[in-house]
Structure 1
Amino acid sequence: MDINDNIESPFILKVSFNKLLNQYEELIRADNDFIAANARRVLKIAEDNPILREGFSDVSLFQTYEKEIAGILQDSFSPILSKNEIKTASIPFHNVVFNASERFKSIIKTAGEDFKLEIKNIPEDQTYIIACTIILGFCYGYDLNFKRPFFYEIPDAKGVKRYYKILYNADFTEIVPSADAPKITDKDYEELLDNFENIELWKEKFPPHSYNFKGFVISNMFDVTDDQSISNIKSSLIGEAKRKDESFMKNFQNIFRSLLGLNDIQVGFSIYNKRDDTFERVYGAGMNSFLLNNLETTQCSDALCKWSYNRLLKEKKYFSVSDVNKMFEKSEGQAPHVKILMDQGIQSAIFAPIANDYQLLGVLELVSAKPKVLNSINANKLEDVMPFIVSAVERSKKDEENLIEAIIQKECTSIHSSVHWKFAEEARRYIKAEMNTGVTPTFKKIAFDNVYPLFGQIDVKGSSNARNSATQKDLALQLSLVEKILDQTIEDKSLPIYEQIKYQVLEFSSGLNENFKVDSEHDITTFLKEEVKPVLQLIKDTQPFIKEDIEDYFSKVDTDLEVIYFYRKHYDDTVKLINSNMSSIIDEKQIEAQKMYPHFFERFKTDGVEHNMYIGESITKQDSFNMIYLYNLRLWQLQVMCEMENEYYQNQNEYPIALDVASMILVFNQPLSIRFRMDEKRFDVDGTYNARYEVVKKRVDKAFIKGTEERITQKGKLTIVYSQKDDEEEYVRYIRFLQSKKVLNTDLEYLELEDLQAITGLKALRVSILYHENNDDKVFYTYDDLMETIKS
């Protein structure tokens, strides 16, 4: 087999000892007779075997000339140091070793028959280019300083990975261009400087097999497992994305195994919560805590004994338990951390505080199923890695705080991405002004002029009546249970106070059915808490035969509200579910809409979901706004409202109670200005004229059709409120389009609204929505058809 087979390289490789032999020719003339005699011995081997000077590429000749090669390399591989030095003679860019020290042979033998020697950190596709950079230095004098540390990763007898750094001696190599090798010019060199990864360019300048390489390299290796393990720990801890990967903890444990030379240890973490003085689980793929075992969190005083608590939290020093069984017996099972280790089959452990100068951040846990393998002596090895773990945890906590703030901002005080640039711009100005003047500046008004508003809502129809009905049912149920208990009580022992309470119960029950007012709920709830509850507690203590009924009564009463919360809970849960589902739909659809053209968007949860949108050039910060984008967004809004209605009715059976919803869109055809109100942390219209828009938004869904007692919004219908003829014509076009798509029905109504306070001339288009059983269903139904289908 030829060493040049199956490898693409700019070299034609030949193993030759010519340059080494040349040095021995000089040593013949040495004054030292022993050195001169040894030189003659080496040269005699070469003279008898001229191929060793000429060079060869046939791998089988290594075996043929094994003794001769060893004789030539005897001085380089001293027998005295052979069991100590890790040294090889090899072919560059090959993992072919033809002479080695005894220690290297022992290391390879221990690694096992299946082990394949490979340099770990040299990418295959870069081997060709590295060879070219060597040529640039050898043949043309361009020093590119491309020296990088290379490593072998070799397992020891325990299976623990050990790292060996390779130092090359290339003094005995010769590189000569072949006759047809292109000559490298300064221009070529300058071009190559900026194109390291362009393999085709390098092959053009250095074609395959265009340079003759004669010689060999000597590699000296050093065990750098500790240094490399520390480096690997640093690399592993850089970047949040790595820690989310499932293989992170497995690799992290392997690194610690290499560092400590132990193959059966496991690594765990606990985070310290200073506010609550608790240890908490670290969330991430494969993360574990041996202090917590199966718990999510625990008090530090419950997880540690008094001494270990003081050691970790006060002194911020590590401690070890080298023999868990022995310590368990010594502590009589009273040390919590020892007991929890016993429960997990752990026999030795090290607990190291992850702490900075100010506070404990968490605990690093190293554990083993074998006794004595982890102890206070090898715990000292952690001194070199703890600073990197501390740094990573500090960064992680900071990232978590930033994430929490981001979530709070998103959920509570959201600044939409479309306008974020304006806030960032002002924040930069604020910081610059503060740094330049040393005085706290004023945060300027954030406003956007000439933007077009869009408003829509999908609202629970008759929400007040539905909630009142649920409240009446809950209160009526509770009063009836009280009446039943009082009847039994009075029959056994008639006291005037019981009669009076029963009279009040009957009065409230009658009032619920006949005249339920706004303050009725408060009055009855107060009566049940302050008057009925103490009486029932007395009856429970004095008349044991009624005890079971009274306990049943209190089991039905909500412990926080102290009233029965059954029907109202169904109502509240339904409204929450409607809000959540409808919000998620429009949020998801918004992602698509933003791609069409960026615009401001916000939504609010009430008894349903409202949304505001503003679109215009001042928001996008580009000279790209066109009215087409506004028209497109209006049509998108119509479609999404219909989709939300369909989604609701398709899944109505999943809601605790059946409620109806009604949808409305408000059209405002004039651009307006909006500004961010710092006190309310939200955008609002700016200026007195524009305030009319906000008034209409708040009142219009309660408006009546002119001359009637009928609300403008109705279940099963989409209502579009507007004031200008142009708006009517635009939306009729959209409606016709959606009718052709079987999204809307053909019963379009043109309506006028009763005048609102200080607002006149509003009109509305109202049209029935067509419903489908699912998103793929081509059959459509009116609202009445849908209700019939659901009932059947």
Structure 2
Amino acid sequence: MDINDNIESPLELKVSFNKLLNLYETLATSDDEFVAAKANRILKTAKAFPELREGFSDMSILEERKKEISVILQDSFSPVLTKNEIKTASVPFHDLIFNSSERFKNIIKTAGNDFELNIKNMPKDDKYIIACTIILNFCYGYNLNFKRPFYYEIPDANGILHFYKILYNADFTEIIPTDNAPKITKEDYDQLLDNFENIDLWKEKFPPNSYIFKGFVISNIFDVTDDQSISNIKSSLIGEDKRKDENFMEGFYEIFRSLLGINDIKVGFSIYNKEEDTFERVYGVGMNSFLINNSESAKCGDSLCKWSYNRLLKNNKYFTVSDVDSMLDKAKGRAPHITNLHKQGIKSAIFAPIANDKGLMGILEIVSNKPQVLNSINANKLIDVMPFIVSAVEQSKNDEENLIEAIIQKECTSIHPSVHWRFEKEAKNFIKSELNGERATFSKIAFENIYPLYGQIDIKGSSEARNNATRLDLTLQLNAVKSIFEKVSKIEYLPIYEQFIYQINDYLEGLNTHFQVDSEQQISEFFKDEVEPVLKHIYTIDNVKGDIDAYFDSIDEKVDVLYNHRKDYDNTIALINKEMAALLDKKQVEAQQMYPHYFERFKTDGVEHNMYIGESITKEDSFNPIYLYNLRLWQLQVMCEMENTYYQMQSGFPVALDVASMILVFNQPLSISFRMDEKQFDVDGTYNARYEIVKKRVDKAFIKGTNTRVTDKGKITIVYSQKQDEREYLRYIKFLQSKNYLDTDVEIVELQDLQAVTGLKAIRVSVLYHKNEEDKAFYTYNDLMKEIKA
């Protein structure tokens, strides 16, 4: 079998001892008789077999000349040191080892019959190019420093992984160009420098087998398990999303097993909450805490004895428990951590504080199911790794704080993606000023010459509906109390009961004739301050116990009143807002893809939305009025779809409420700025404030000369002030009529004057509905109600 079989390389490998034998030729003339005699003996041994100098690739010769090779390599593999040194002789880029020290052989033997030796971090894909860089160095003098540390990973008899670093001695190698090796010029070299990954280029300059490698390399190998374990701990701690990785903790166990040389250990963590003086578990796949036995949290004083508490929390020093069972007998129940470890079957443990100059952040817990394997002596090995664990925990705490802040920003004060770039720009300027020692201020965020769009789907008669629900609940509660007083007055006549009945009747009459805003509060105070103390007093009367129990059972614990009809109303409002907002958000994704723009929505008694579109928001020289017109049409169409979706859902809501949709058209571009105190955008300037005034009041406006609200159930209302807006929206309406979104009953009305705003007009047009998504028929609002009720 040939060494070069199944290997593509610019080097044709040949085992040769020529350079080593040349060295012995020099030593043969030494004045030291012993050195000269030994050199001559080695040269004589080699002379009989010319292939040992000329080189060979037939692997069978290695076995045939095993004795002679051993003689030639005797000085390199000293018998005196063979049981101490870890050393091999081999050829590069090959797993072939033809000579080794006794210690190396023992390490491989201990690893087991199924162990395959290979270099862990030798990149297979780059072997060809690495060989080319070696040729550039040997043959052309270009010193390309591509040296990387290479390692073997070999388990010991206990299965603990050891790391061995390989250092190569290439003193006895030669590289010779063949006739088909292109000569490398300076231009070739310059080209190769910028094309490490271009394998075709390297093969062009260094064709396969175009150079001959003659010689062998000596590998000096060192056990660097401790150093590599520490390095691996650093690498593991740096990894992103490590707590989500199922293999992370098992890999972490493996690293500590190598560091401590103990197979049977597990690693846990607990976080210290200084404010509450508690230990808390770390959340993540495979993350455990043996100190608190995977409870959510535990008081530090309840988890440790006084001595261990002071040792960890006050002095920030580690402590060990080498024999849990023995300590359990001595502690006699006074050491909670010992009791806890015993319950988990743990026999020895190390607890190390993860602390910085600000104090304790958490505890590193290393445990074993065997006694005495963890102790105060091997715990000293943690000294080298604790700084990296401390650094990782600090980073993790910072990351968690940033994540919490990011979630708050996202969920509570979200910055819309369309304007995020501007906030990011100002934040970078802020950081730059701080780093330069300047006074950092967050500049005003404003956008000029942008067009606003506003729309709302509002619940009609929401105040009346809530008042009615309140009236019904209060009536039920008053009647329940009234019946109790009527019943008790027959058993025990007292004038005060009669007075209560009179008061209740007065409230009932008031609810039916002139329900006031403060009626709810007055009656609630009457129940709380006057009725309930009396009910608790008369609870001793057997005949009314059941009635009083029933009364208190009907009272909602959260709001402390009877909350049936109002709960239905509140749930309905919440459901309407949730469903309409979700639909609008979903539709908005499509609109953003057409052209980016600012969007925000608010849940009130219904759902309102603002949109702003323009050049200054998109940051690109791409805005055209066509995008504004497109967004206006999209808005009108989506409002029709929201109306349809609402009435298809209406039967599933606790209370049947109507909605009315409105769009406000503002013809002129305006400026908006971000109000830091309110965490939202608002219009800038006195003139632009007119837009906000109209927005807040227009849905309550009346049609001029009437007492009819401009917004109405079953209709879309489009409010505007300019004739060109009227023409534009009539075109959109005609288009949507052709698609059966809107009916043909278009009307144009004038609005009564609002404060400081005159000349507003509105287009009103009925929406066409479907009974459900599969329904192909079209209904007006009145037809739909008849169909639903039929």
User: Is TM > 0.5 for Structure 1 vs Structure 2?
Assistant: yes
- Paired residue for 1:263? 263
Aligned-pair CA distance for 1:739: 4.3
Deviations 1:36-91 (A, max 9, x none): 23223322331222222222212233323223322222221222222222111112
- Paired residue for 1:746? 743
The answer as to whether partners of 1:354 and 1:364 remain within 8 angstroms in 2 is yes
Residue 226 of structure 2 corresponds to residue 209 of structure 1: no
The answer as to whether partners of 1:93 and 1:127 remain within 8 angstroms in 2 is yes
Aligned-pair CA distance for 1:24: 1.6
- Structure-1 separation of matches of 2:654 and 2:598: 34
Change (3 A) 1:142 1:561: same
Aligned-pair CA distance for 1:621: 2.8
Residue 599 of structure 2 corresponds to residue 601 of structure 1: yes
Change (3 A) 1:115 1:418: same
Change (3 A) 1:294 1:785: farther
Bigger mean CA offset, 231-240 vs 457-466: 457-466
Change (3 A) 1:350 1:587: farther
**For residue 600 of structure 1, what is the amino acid of its counterpart?**
Y
Residue 454 of structure 2 corresponds to residue 455 of structure 1: yes
Residue 507 of structure 2 corresponds to residue 539 of structure 1: no
Superposition pairs of residues 510-529 of structure 1, within 5 angstroms:
510-529=509-528
**For residue 615 of structure 1, what is the amino acid of its counterpart?**
I
Aligned-pair CA distance for 1:354: 1.5
The answer as to whether partners of 2:480 and 2:551 remain within 8 angstroms in 1 is yes
Bigger mean CA offset, 605-614 vs 562-571: 562-571
Aligned-pair CA distance for 1:29: 1.7
Residue 148 of structure 2 corresponds to residue 172 of structure 1: no
- Paired residue for 2:13? 13
- Paired residue for 2:619? 621
Deviations 1:6-42 (A, max 9, x none): 1211111111111112212222222333322322332
Superposition pairs of residues 499-514 of structure 1, within 5 angstroms:
499-514=498-513
- Structure-1 separation of matches of 2:460 and 2:327: 68
- Paired residue for 2:414? 414
**Structure 2 unaligned runs (5+)?**
none
Residue 254 of structure 2 corresponds to residue 254 of structure 1: yes
Aligned-pair CA distance for 1:667: 1.4
Aligned-pair CA distance for 1:211: 0.8
Aligned-pair CA distance for 1:106: 2.0
Aligned-pair CA distance for 1:269: 2.1
Aligned-pair CA distance for 1:168: 0.7
Change (3 A) 1:517 1:329: farther
The answer as to whether partners of 2:349 and 2:374 remain within 8 angstroms in 1 is yes
The answer as to whether partners of 2:3 and 2:13 remain within 8 angstroms in 1 is yes
The answer as to whether partners of 2:269 and 2:363 remain within 8 angstroms in 1 is yes
Aligned-pair CA distance for 1:193: 1.3
Q: Aligned to 1:240, what secondary structure does the other structure show? A: coil
**For residue 534 of structure 1, what is the amino acid of its counterpart?**
P
Superposition pairs of residues 184-203 of structure 1, within 5 angstroms:
184-203=184-203
- Paired residue for 1:727? 725
Aligned-pair CA distance for 1:694: 0.8
- Structure-1 separation of matches of 2:247 and 2:154: 20
Aligned-pair CA distance for 1:133: 0.8
Residue 76 of structure 2 corresponds to residue 91 of structure 1: no
The answer as to whether partners of 1:413 and 1:681 remain within 8 angstroms in 2 is yes
- Structure-2 separation of matches of 1:508 and 1:692: 44
Superposition RMSD in Å: 2.9
Aligned-pair CA distance for 1:179: 0.7
Q: Aligned to 1:82, what secondary structure does the other structure show? A: coil
Bigger mean CA offset, 696-705 vs 284-293: 284-293
Change (3 A) 1:442 1:234: closer
**For residue 129 of structure 2, what is the amino acid of its counterpart?**
I
Superposition pairs of residues 293-332 of structure 1, within 5 angstroms:
293-332=293-332
Aligned-pair CA distance for 1:174: 0.8
Aligned-pair CA distance for 1:212: 0.6
The answer as to whether partners of 1:318 and 1:351 remain within 8 angstroms in 2 is yes
- Structure-1 separation of matches of 2:788 and 2:105: 81
Matched length: 787
- Paired residue for 2:752? 755
- Structure-1 separation of matches of 2:565 and 2:348: 57
Change (3 A) 1:305 1:488: farther
Q: Aligned to 1:372, what secondary structure does the other structure show? A: coil
The answer as to whether partners of 1:753 and 1:764 remain within 8 angstroms in 2 is no
Aligned-pair CA distance for 1:673: 1.4
- Structure-2 separation of matches of 1:93 and 1:437: 54
The answer as to whether partners of 1:752 and 1:764 remain within 8 angstroms in 2 is yes
- Paired residue for 1:674? 672
- Paired residue for 1:470? 469
The answer as to whether partners of 1:151 and 1:163 remain within 8 angstroms in 2 is yes
- Paired residue for 1:284? 284
The answer as to whether partners of 1:447 and 1:674 remain within 8 angstroms in 2 is yes
**For residue 585 of structure 2, what is the amino acid of its counterpart?**
D
- Structure-2 separation of matches of 1:695 and 1:717: 23
**For residue 44 of structure 1, what is the amino acid of its counterpart?**
K
- Paired residue for 2:693? 695
Superposition pairs of residues 51-90 of structure 1, within 5 angstroms:
51-90=51-90
- Structure-2 separation of matches of 1:506 and 1:294: 60
Change (3 A) 1:441 1:295: closer
Q: Aligned to 1:25, what secondary structure does the other structure show? A: helix
Change (3 A) 1:728 1:281: farther
**For residue 743 of structure 2, what is the amino acid of its counterpart?**
T
Q: Aligned to 2:241, what secondary structure does the other structure show? A: helix
**For residue 755 of structure 1, what is the amino acid of its counterpart?**
Q
Residue 555 of structure 2 corresponds to residue 557 of structure 1: yes
Aligned-pair CA distance for 1:344: 3.3
TM-score, structure 1 as length reference: 0.92
TM-score, structure 2 as length reference: 0.92
The answer as to whether partners of 1:430 and 1:441 remain within 8 angstroms in 2 is yes
The answer as to whether partners of 1:28 and 1:35 remain within 8 angstroms in 2 is yes
**For residue 751 of structure 1, what is the amino acid of its counterpart?**
I
Change (3 A) 1:667 1:211: same
Deviations 1:118-159 (A, max 9, x none): 211122111111111111110100111111111111222222
- Paired residue for 1:237? 237
Residue 422 of structure 2 corresponds to residue 446 of structure 1: no
Change (3 A) 1:726 1:484: same
Change (3 A) 1:100 1:448: same
- Structure-2 separation of matches of 1:791 and 1:668: 39
Bigger mean CA offset, 142-151 vs 686-695: 686-695
Aligned-pair CA distance for 1:651: 5.1
**Structure 1 unaligned runs (5+)?**
none
Aligned-pair CA distance for 1:443: 5.0
- Structure-2 separation of matches of 1:168 and 1:789: 89
- Structure-1 separation of matches of 2:579 and 2:537: 47
- Structure-2 separation of matches of 1:219 and 1:772: 82
- Structure-2 separation of matches of 1:688 and 1:395: 48
Deviations 1:493-542 (A, max 9, x none): 334444433433343334334432211111111122222222233333x4
Residue 119 of structure 2 corresponds to residue 119 of structure 1: yes
The answer as to whether partners of 1:718 and 1:769 remain within 8 angstroms in 2 is no
**For residue 559 of structure 2, what is the amino acid of its counterpart?**
L
- Paired residue for 2:776? 779
The answer as to whether partners of 1:237 and 1:243 remain within 8 angstroms in 2 is no
**For residue 731 of structure 2, what is the amino acid of its counterpart?**
R
Percentage identity across aligned positions? 67
**For residue 43 of structure 2, what is the amino acid of its counterpart?**
L
- Structure-2 separation of matches of 1:52 and 1:294: 66
Bigger mean CA offset, 260-269 vs 700-709: 700-709
- Paired residue for 2:107? 107
Change (3 A) 1:80 1:580: farther
- Structure-1 separation of matches of 2:778 and 2:716: 15
The answer as to whether partners of 1:745 and 1:769 remain within 8 angstroms in 2 is yes
- Paired residue for 1:571? 569
Aligned-pair CA distance for 1:426: 4.3
- Structure-1 separation of matches of 2:531 and 2:293: 47
Change (3 A) 1:136 1:506: same
Residue 387 of structure 2 corresponds to residue 390 of structure 1: no
**For residue 266 of structure 1, what is the amino acid of its counterpart?**
K
Deviations 1:596-621 (A, max 9, x none): 33322222221222211111112223
Q: Aligned to 2:271, what secondary structure does the other structure show? A: strand
- Structure-2 separation of matches of 1:712 and 1:319: 78
- Structure-2 separation of matches of 1:646 and 1:364: 59
Q: Aligned to 1:367, what secondary structure does the other structure show? A: strand
